[in-house]
């Protein structure tokens, strides 16, 4: 049964509505490739798989005593204190905590648009005044307009994804810094960085540098993407200690010990592991973008492990046509009906796309 929450006078099922929107209903052809959820085709590193197996023996207990050590390991990896870390069942749970702690009636929620819809939907259900600010012509966040909108209410959250989903575009670090410095008192910046591991200069570009500066910034990260642990559901948020303390009561469940132990093992692989995985994905991405260029297909220059392609027709017709050919693409996003999102898979998987996409678009 899908978990549902009573929010704003009605039931709300966020996992069904958003985190699992990538699901493809019904039968698919044998050998279908899954390019719909921005997962890592490599799966977890071997060390994480071994940690999962070992942790299974402890799965009969809640393992509360293990989590301080896990928080310390994650904190050390990102250069923060453990009191600045909030574990979650994927980064989506931490986003939920931030929304519940800092939005609601009389508060605002300002988000860039288009983006992953869960935060805006939940903020609205919580009673917040939701404002969707269109992205710029270069598919960056319009930080000046967002700060302007924030001044209309006494407190709330300004939210953005960086790199953004579904556009795969990046907002420059200087713009994010400007936003954090120019928000009115009572406002926080919530940055969803699920795909920051795919950015080569992520330490400089990411929002964790602003957390280290003491800015009113909450950054969420996940092990579901580059680290290949989507099924293990483990992520974390970072912020000033008092912000973490305000969010912590809204974490509704105990984080899985399997995912937590696997995440620590994956982190222990070190920065070279991240760099190798990133480079592998970026090489395949570059080759696919060269193919798109050769076909004259417009796309947004990607910064993450997926690309958004302008197919110039309703994507609701393109998606089932690809599924019939054994390619499961991303879903339709609001205001982007003529755009198709594709995860960057293996070279063989992208070769299958380049074989079949022209026929689908010609049909």
Domain membership flag for residue 340: yes
Judge if 164 and 286 occupy the same domain. no
Domain membership flag for residue 2: no
Taking CA atoms, 81 is separated from 74, 76, 97, 238, in Å, by 9, 7, 19, 9
Domain membership flag for residue 37: yes
Residue 234 CA to residue 153 CA, distance in Å, equals: 33
Judge if 116 and 218 occupy the same domain. yes
| R_g of the chain, CA atoms, integer Å | 20
Exposure of 289 in the CB half-sphere (CA atoms within 13 A): 17
Judge if 238 and 156 occupy the same domain. yes
Residue 109 Cα to chain centre, angstroms: 18
Q: Pick from 252, 267, 282: which residue ends a domain?
A: 267
Residue 304 CA to residue 81 CA, distance in Å, equals: 28
Total domain count for the chain? 2
Can you give the pLDDT at residue 23? Answer: 58
Domain membership flag for residue 6: no
Judge if 329 and 206 occupy the same domain. no
Domain membership flag for residue 4: no
The backbone region for 90, taken as left when phi is positive above 0, alpha when psi lies in -120 to 50, beta otherwise, is left
Instruction: Extract long-range pairs of 145-150: CB within 8 Å, 24+ residues apart.
Output: 146/110, 146/112, 146/179, 147/179, 147/182, 147/183, 147/184, 149/108, 149/110, 150/108, 150/110, 150/183, 150/184, 150/187
Residue 339 CA to residue 309 CA, distance in Å, equals: 5
Judge if 133 and 151 occupy the same domain. yes
Can you give the pLDDT at residue 181? Answer: 97
Per-residue pLDDT of the chain (363 residues; tens, 9 = 90+): 334 444 444 444 444 344 444 557 778 999 999 999 999 999 999 999 999 999 999 999 988 888 899 999 999 999 999 999 999 999 999 999 999 999 999 999 999 999 999 999 999 999 999 999 999 999 999 999 999 999 999 999 999 999 999 999 999 999 999 999 999 999 999 999 999 999 998 888 999 999 999 999 999 999 999 999 999 999 999 999 999 999 999 998 889 999 999 999 999 999 999 999 999 999 999 999 999 999 999 999 999 999 999 999 999 999 999 999 999 999 999 889 999 999 999 999 999 999 999 999 998
Exposure of 138 in the CB half-sphere (CA atoms within 13 A): 8
Residue 334 CA to residue 342 CA, distance in Å, equals: 16
Judge if 292 and 262 occupy the same domain. no
CB-CB contact of 283 with 277 (8 Å)? no
Judge if 22 and 118 occupy the same domain. no
Residue 61 CA to residue 72 CA, distance in Å, equals: 21
Domain membership flag for residue 353: yes
Q: Pick from 214, 238, 267: which residue ends a domain?
A: 267
For residue 300, the domain's CATH number is 3.90.1150.10
**Neighbour-count burial of 214, counting CB atoms closer than 10 A to its CB (0-12 exposed, 13-18 middle, 19+ buried):** exposed
Can you give the pLDDT at residue 230? Answer: 97
CB-CB contact of 301 with 140 (8 Å)? no
Judge if 278 and 206 occupy the same domain. no
Judge if 145 and 99 occupy the same domain. yes
Residue 116: which domain range? 46-267
Residue 66 CA to residue 255 CA, distance in Å, equals: 11
Judge if 134 and 203 occupy the same domain. yes
For residue 237, the domain's CATH number is 3.40.640.10
Can you give the pLDDT at residue 253? Answer: 80
Judge if 332 and 307 occupy the same domain. yes
Exposure of 339 in the CB half-sphere (CA atoms within 13 A): 17
Task: State both tokens at 300.
Answer: 């947004």
Judge if 333 and 228 occupy the same domain. no
Q: Pick from 267, 283, 305: which residue ends a domain?
A: 267
Cis previous bond, 131, omega within 30: no
Domain membership flag for residue 5: no
Task: State both tokens at 59.
Answer: 């799965």
Domain membership flag for residue 248: yes
């Amino acid at each position: 049964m899908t978990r549902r929450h009573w929010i704003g006078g009605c039931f709300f099922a966020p996992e069904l509505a958003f985190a699992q929107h990538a699901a493809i209903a019904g039968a698919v052809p044998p050998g279908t490739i899954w390019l719909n959820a921005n997962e890592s085709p490599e799966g977890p590193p071997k060390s994480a798989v071994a940690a999962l197996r070992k942790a299974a023996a402890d799965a009969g207990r809640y393992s509360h005593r293990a989590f301080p050590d896990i928080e310390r390991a994650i904190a050390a990896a990102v250069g923060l204190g453990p009191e600045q870390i909030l574990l979650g069942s994927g980064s989506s749970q931490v986003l939920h905590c931030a929304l519940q702690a800092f939005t609601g009636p009389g508060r605002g929620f300002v988000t860039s648009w288009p983006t992953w819809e869960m935060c805006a939907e939940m903020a609205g259900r919580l009673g917040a005044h939701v404002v969707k600010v269109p992205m710029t012509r270069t598919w960056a966040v319009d930080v000046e307009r967002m700060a302007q909108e924030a001044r209309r209410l006494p407190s709330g959250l300004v939210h953005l994804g960086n790199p953004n989903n579904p556009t795969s575009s990046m907002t420059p670090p200087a713009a994010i810094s400007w936003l954090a410095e120019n928000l009115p008192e009572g406002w926080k910046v919530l940055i969803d960085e699920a795909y920051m591991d795919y950015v080569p200069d992520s330490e400089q570009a990411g929002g964790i540098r602003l957390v280290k500066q003491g800015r009113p910034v909450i950054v969420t990260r996940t092990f579901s993407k580059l680290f290949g642990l989507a099924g293990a559901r483990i992520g974390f948020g970072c912020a000033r200690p008092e912000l973490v303390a305000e969010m912590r009561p809204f974490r509704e469940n105990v984080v899985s010990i399997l995912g937590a132990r696997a995440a620590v093992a994956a982190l222990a692989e070190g920065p070279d592991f991240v760099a190798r995985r990133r480079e592998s994905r970026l090489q395949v991405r570059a080759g696919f973008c060269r193919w798109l260029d050769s076909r004259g297909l417009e796309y947004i220059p990607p910064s993450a492990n997926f690309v958004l392609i302008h197919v110039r027709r309703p994507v609701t017709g393109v998606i089932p046509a690809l599924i019939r050919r054994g390619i499961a693409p991303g879903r339709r996003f609001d205001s982007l009906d003529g755009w198709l999102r594709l995860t960057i898979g293996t070279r063989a998987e992208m070769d299958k796309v380049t074989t079949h996409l022209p026929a689908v678009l010609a049909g």
